[in-house]
Amino acid sequence: MTMLINIAYLISISCFILGLKFLSSPRTARRGNMLSAFAMFIAVVVTLFDRQIVDYTYILAGIVIGGTIGVAAAKKIRMNDMPQMVAIFNAFGGGASSLVVLAQFIHHPEMAELNTGFTIPAALFIGTMTFTGSIAAFTKLQELVKSAPILFPAQKIINFLLHLGIVICAVLFITQPGESSFFYLLVILLLSAVIGITLVLPIGGADMPVIIALLNSYSGLAAAASGFVINNYVLIVSGALVGASGLILTNKMCRAMNRSLFNVLFGAVGQDIDTGSQTGQRNVIRYTPMDAAMILENARSVIVVPGYGLAVAQAQYAMHDTVELLRKRGTEIDYAIHPVAGRMPGHMNVLLAEANVPYDYLKDMEEINEDFKNTDVVLVVGANDVINPAARGNGNPLAGMPILNADQARSIIIIKRSLSPGFAKVENELFYEKKTMMVFGDAKEMLLKIVANLKTDS
Amino acid sequence: MTGVLIVSIYIFVLSIFVGFELITRVPPLLHTPLMSGANAVSGITLVGALIVAGTGASWLGTLLGCVAIIFATINVVGGFLVTDRMLEMFKKEDKKT
């Protein structure tokens, strides 16, 4: 029986790997996801035949309760809120891993004396930190606490001491097994929980994509770590795959902002401080949606730069209508998507796909950045930092961040509520340029007016 | 026991490499579904939860295991469903007008 179980696990692992492979193309991605779900199904069913399992009552109850909540959540969630959803699911994954470790130790306290004993504190640490960190990220994304960095004094020293405390308890746990083993684990649990929170609170709103990717990676590592504790290869392999995927995304997000991970975690960019920028009265010329529609009508090539403001205003559909009307007139038009547009990696693509924008119109920054200089009009909706030319300079929080070359186009239309700076709190010189037309107002309202104008003229 | 641990570490390290190879190729277009899909996969800890909840060696362990099952199932079921919902929306331009 053990043999059969192991073979089934191997099939499950293979399906996970293939599922991930299929995720690399939009044509096969859906199949890939289903394959992963199938792999999970095999792993779960096979595990039920494990000879260690004697009682199925709680198992069934747990699956029914969890499954119902999972289905309800997945059906109800709005695409805007995907980052929160991933954060809270992450929390559940990490929390489950740390509970598994704890329960395993309670069942088999003798484990502490084996030379694999060190995997217990390690797995408990990662799982618990993922749990509280993800919950902290969730509260920030949901704006239950303010999204700007929350700083506390001596952040680095406190973090160091917390980690030190965990190491000491882990060493005690391994070297002195016995009565107090469980106590050491509880202290590790507590300290890890605090670390998760202190890790996430100082992270600013703009850096959320990085931290979500990082927590995603942790949740995988937590699963792998609990795999070490209960000695199960499916957990180790799948956990490692997720860990690797999260790390790659973390790295990509950091590069998209030209920041190191260390800087994201401890830099606290985007605080509510006055950067002392020139806030003197400067004039910009206000244009109406009618002006914008006229410019768009006469353009031969247009690139749309959507930002998170577009999604906040729920303007994706109006955006899509605008683009379609122009396309019907023969205008060359595409979307340019910055890697950190939205609040999690790739978020903007999902938001536009929801509004029925075909994915072949969505171009990555690398793909489209050279085209700006040959483009008549760039239409920027609800984006700011990702087109701020200050990023090419030095000595400001944006310096070095790769940006979309919107400023190279012949003219620029920016739909925005106000002149206020973006997350990075750096003023955008582009707003004041001669070739820039500022259209102030709610993105949806303004786009609907543009659509109306385009319709009457055609 | 050490032998088993070494094998586990081998498998872990090699899987990390496989993961890197597979995921580097995923285009930015699909990063969000990749993340929520990977997130669902990390719910694999459900397998561990099933074992600890079913062993029945101590009531506290069983209770924790049961909570772990609830958590992990939410993660797995919700994760896969929401990923599917997202991927369903990704469509190619169907007709040239």
Domain positions in chain A are: 1-76, 82-267, 289-457
pLDDT of B38 strictly over 50: yes
pLDDT of B9 strictly over 50: yes
Pick from A66, A231, A345: CB nearest B70: A66
Question: Tens of pLDDT along A20-52?
Answer: 999 999 999 999 999 999 999 999 999 998 878
Mutate to test the interface with B, among A50, A182, A245, A362 (most CBs of B within 10 A): A245
Query: A302-333 b/e with 16+ CB inside 10 Å = b?
Result: bbbbbbbbbbebebbbbbbbbbbbbbeeebeb
Determine the distance in angstroms separating the CA of B42 from the nearest CA of chain A, rounded to an integer.
Answer: 5
Distant-in-sequence, close-in-space partners of A4: CB < 8 Å, separation ≥ 6: A46, A49
CA distance A426 to A452: 34
Determine the distance in angstroms separating the CA of B6 from the nearest CA of chain A, rounded to an integer.
Answer: 10
Cβ of residue B95 closer than 8 Å to a chain A Cβ: no
Determine the distance in angstroms separating the CA of B12 from the nearest CA of chain A, rounded to an integer.
Answer: 6
Question: Would the CB atoms of A89 and B75 count as touching at under 8 Å?
Answer: yes
Number of CB atoms found within 10 A of residue A165's CB: 17
Question: Tens of pLDDT along A365-389?
Answer: 989 999 999 999 999 998 888 899 9
Calculate the alpha carbon distances from A247 to A439, B7, B11 in Å.
39, 23, 18
Question: Tens of pLDDT along A389-419?
Answer: 988 888 787 888 899 999 999 999 999 988 8
ipTM: 0.94
CA distance A127 to A223: 8
CA distance A251 to A448: 38
pLDDT on residue A262: 81
Question: Tens of pLDDT along A294-336?
Answer: 999 999 999 999 998 898 889 999 999 999 999 998 999 999 9
Q: Using 50, 70 and 90 to split pLDDT, how confident is the model at B97?
A: very low
Q: Using 50, 70 and 90 to split pLDDT, how confident is the model at B87?
A: very high
- Whole-number CA gyration radius for chain A: 25
Neighboring chain A residues of B66 at a CB cutoff of 8 Å: 58-59, 61-62
pLDDT on residue A274: 44
pLDDT on residue A69: 96
User: Average pLDDT for residues A216-228, to the nearest whole number?
Assistant: 95
Do residues A377 and A410 touch, judged by C-beta distance below 8 A?
yes
pLDDT above 90 covers a percentage of chain B that reads 74
Question: Tens of pLDDT along A254-283?
Answer: 888 888 888 777 766 555 444 444 445 677
Neighboring chain B residues of A361 at a CB cutoff of 8 Å: 93
Residue of A354, A334, A327 lying closest to A342 (CA atoms) = A354
Cβ of residue B92 closer than 8 Å to a chain A Cβ: yes
Neighboring chain B residues of A404 at a CB cutoff of 8 Å: none
Q: Sketch the domain layout of chain B as residue ranges.
A: 2-89
Do residues A304 and A369 touch, judged by C-beta distance below 8 A?
no
What's the sign of the alpha-carbon dihedral A127, A128, A131, A132? negative
pLDDT on residue A269: 58
Cβ of residue B6 closer than 8 Å to a chain A Cβ: no
CA distance A13 to A19: 10
pLDDT above 70 covers a percentage of chain A that reads 96
Name which of A38-42, A56-60, A201-205, B46-50 the model is least confident about: A201-205
pLDDT of A118 strictly over 90: no
Do residues A416 and A382 touch, judged by C-beta distance below 8 A?
yes
Pick from A65, A90, A116: CB nearest B70: A65
Query: Catalytic one among A321, A334, A385, A407?
Result: A385
pLDDT on residue A89: 95
pTM summary value: 0.89
Looking at every residue in chain A, the average pLDDT score rounds to: 89
Structure tokens at A67: 């499954």
Concerning whether A385 is annotated as a catalytic residue, the answer is: yes
Distant-in-sequence, close-in-space partners of A208: CB < 8 Å, separation ≥ 6: A83, A137, A140, A141, A147, A343, A344
- Between chain A and chain B, the number of residue pairs with CB atoms below 8 A apart is 398
CATH top class, domain A289-457: alpha beta
CA distance B16 to A13: 13
Question: Tens of pLDDT along A14-24?
Answer: 999 999 999 99
Neighboring chain A residues of B72 at a CB cutoff of 8 Å: 66, 92-93, 96
Q: Using 50, 70 and 90 to split pLDDT, how confident is the model at A186?
A: very high
Determine the distance in angstroms separating the CA of A99 from the nearest CA of chain B, rounded to an integer.
Answer: 6
Residue whose pair of structure tokens reads 């394959």 in the numeric block: A35
pLDDT on residue A165: 95
Length of chain A: 458
Looking at every residue in chain B, the average pLDDT score rounds to: 90
